[in-house]
Amino acid sequence: MLCEVFAVTYTNLISKMRETMVSLSKTGTAKMLADELDGAESSQSSQQNSRTSQRFLPDRVVDLKATARGTEYTILGLLEDYKSVMLGAKEFNSLVGRVMAGTNISNYGQFISDVFIMIQLLKEPETDIFAVMFFFYDACSGMVMMFRMLILMSRLYPASEEFLEAFKTYLQHETPIRRYLLKYKKNLRIVAAKIGGYSTSPITVPKGVHVLFNYYIGAAMWQRPLDRRT
């Protein structure tokens, strides 16, 4: 529950910060790229080179003091807050992430044992269907709860990626402190919810399902020795 609250809160927070970054990218004044081109009467080859280089010219001069619509954020304030989010997530992961590793291992063990016992009961000549259904529902309910948590946690990673991509777009515009922002960008990291030191991402859930069902198949194929059959 704690991990779900953390992941959902930080995902929504960073998504709003990305929207703010996009809004800041639209501040300032548009730049006339045509004014940057020289040699209007030059040869056709030089004109083609100018048009090629034109693609890399900034199309907007952003205002550092401008704030995003509906907020009081400037670009520097937004980046400082993102860095604070990074530190907060790091502290949370260091305290809870390692505990979650042990919890997930125990959950996996419980689900596998439920399926194993259910399959073994089905092999008995006289099977209590209610006992089978108990282990079936216990395994299914546990899986739903765990993978719901993993799905929520894995959404934080792409939300952070989108924020950094929006920052890259901002850096494509002209700004007086572009060099400083480029250096600052190197200190920014993707924010992710971690389990045992490993970041959860959209690929985490299908990998978890794949591993779990491999264990289920192993439990289904296990055969008791003949001298231990009932």
Residue 146 falls inside a structural domain: yes
pLDDT digits (tens, 9 = 90+) for 148-182: 888 888 999 999 999 999 999 888 888 888 889 99
Secondary structure in 3-state letters for the chain: CHHHHHHHHHHHHHHHHHHHHHHHHCCCEECCHHHHCCCCCCCHHHHHHHHHHHCCCCCEECCCCCCCCCCCCCHHHHHHHHHHHHHHHHHHHHHHHHHHHHHHHHHHHHHHHHHHHHHHHHHCCCCCHHHHHHHHHHHHHHHHHHHHHHHHHHCHHHHHHHHHHHHHHHHCCECCCHHHHHHHHCCCCCCCCEECCEECCCCHHHHHHHHHHHHHHHHHHCCCCHHHCC
Residue 22 falls inside a structural domain: yes
Residue 34 falls inside a structural domain: no
Tell me the mean pLDDT in the region 80-85: 93
pLDDT of residue 53: 43
Tell whether the model's pLDDT for residue 116 goes beyond 70: yes
The two three-digit tokens of residue 75, written as one number = 């670009």
Q: How many domains does the chain have?
A: 1
Residue 33 falls inside a structural domain: no
- Residues 66 and 24: beta-carbon distance below 8 Å: yes
Tokens 């950094």 locate to 164
pLDDT of residue 67: 80
Task: Please give the residue range of the domain that contains residue 13.
Answer: 2-27+62-228
Q: What percent of the chain has pLDDT over 70?
A: 83
- Residues 192 and 201: beta-carbon distance below 8 Å: yes
Question: Cβ neighbours of residue 189 under 8 Å, at least 6 residues apart?
Answer: 86
Tell whether the model's pLDDT for residue 17 goes beyond 80: yes
Question: Cβ neighbours of residue 12 under 8 Å, at least 6 residues apart?
Answer: none
Residue 48 falls inside a structural domain: no
Residue 184 falls inside a structural domain: yes
The two three-digit tokens of residue 211, written as one number = 């591993």
Instruction: Determine if the pTM surpasses 0.95.
Output: no
Backbone φ and ψ for 198, nearest 5 degrees, come out as -105, 130
Residue 223 falls inside a structural domain: yes
Question: Across the chain, what does the average pLDDT equal?
Answer: 79
Residue 43 falls inside a structural domain: no
Tell me the mean pLDDT in the region 97-108: 78
